[in-house]
Structure 1
């Protein structure tokens, strides 16, 4: 093999090694950022879930509500359920296929807050199989941000058919003709461990594997560098 061919191969190996090291380092650094974000999220959610409930934001505060600043806050609200406008949203559950039950709650000032009263099994899907809460209600639960974006492989909502696969508050309230509705919803706390809908089903434990992912990507970067060193030594040995 000529010297020129060896130098070409070494150059190609160097370019590939540099590209792989840069790629894997970037992925590792991104996972480190995600790790810090996830740790902050876990600490923030734990603190909010354990706090005493505060009044749910009113119309004057709606425009300033953000995911970072408000989601999972423990809130309370009073009002009367509009049971005739109940909405079911499909979700996997401990009972197998289930449904979230979202019901508008009308407050004394005329504004509306959608309450996720909990999950029901397929057998409890029909409102006739459950007792609807009547009269003034005091609700406590966790403030949640509307789910207005789909997820991978998720089905599309069909508002015209009254079918939703995510808790898209704007779509639901518009379709139902509900005015002065809050842009968020509330996951109601568990009130009856045996009843339906079964509240208190909010997921507040988050999987955190970002550290192991970061270590994996940094290890791949190191292996790429080691591979380049091995090729370099072999080519220099042949040349020498």
Structure 2
């Protein structure tokens, strides 16, 4: 079973192919860290991955896409691209919380210790979620680092420029990987279960504001 995984919820534009026939196996991946290049980089990255392993889009059996939380503009690029591929090919598209994908990648390194995952929300804020034994127990949410009570977390993973705000052991997983994305929904994909509708986790209103709305704001 050939699965395409994509994520644009962080500054990393991620695309990869995972063989889900047995143990998830990464066949090809492309990761470009550029928060301004999601639209330009994603589709070429997908096609490069397919070319690398001698496959075409028609060989895909399913697609997994990170649904955030993430900034409005970047996040919708990945979701729209995944939905377009799925519609054109007639294959299911599964949405995954991008923070969950990072937690899956940390995996056994967390053991029974509580894990905090954080990513860049801009505006000097972070997106966050907490995990225990691989299950999300709080979040996702968005706040300033100083306002986050990390409770009994002992490990942290995610944005390299934000993990140091917390006095926790750092696991070196900075963004969702293809294996993490697919691993989060592997059982659903294998079973052929119908995916839930794709719903983006923006967690707040977009940065862009229409001119009329700006004018209407009180000064």
When normalised by structure 1's length, the TM-score is 0.26
Which one has a larger percent strand, Structure 1 or Structure 2?
A: 2
When normalised by structure 2's length, the TM-score is 0.27
* Structure with bigger RCO (C-alpha 8 Å, 6+ apart): 1
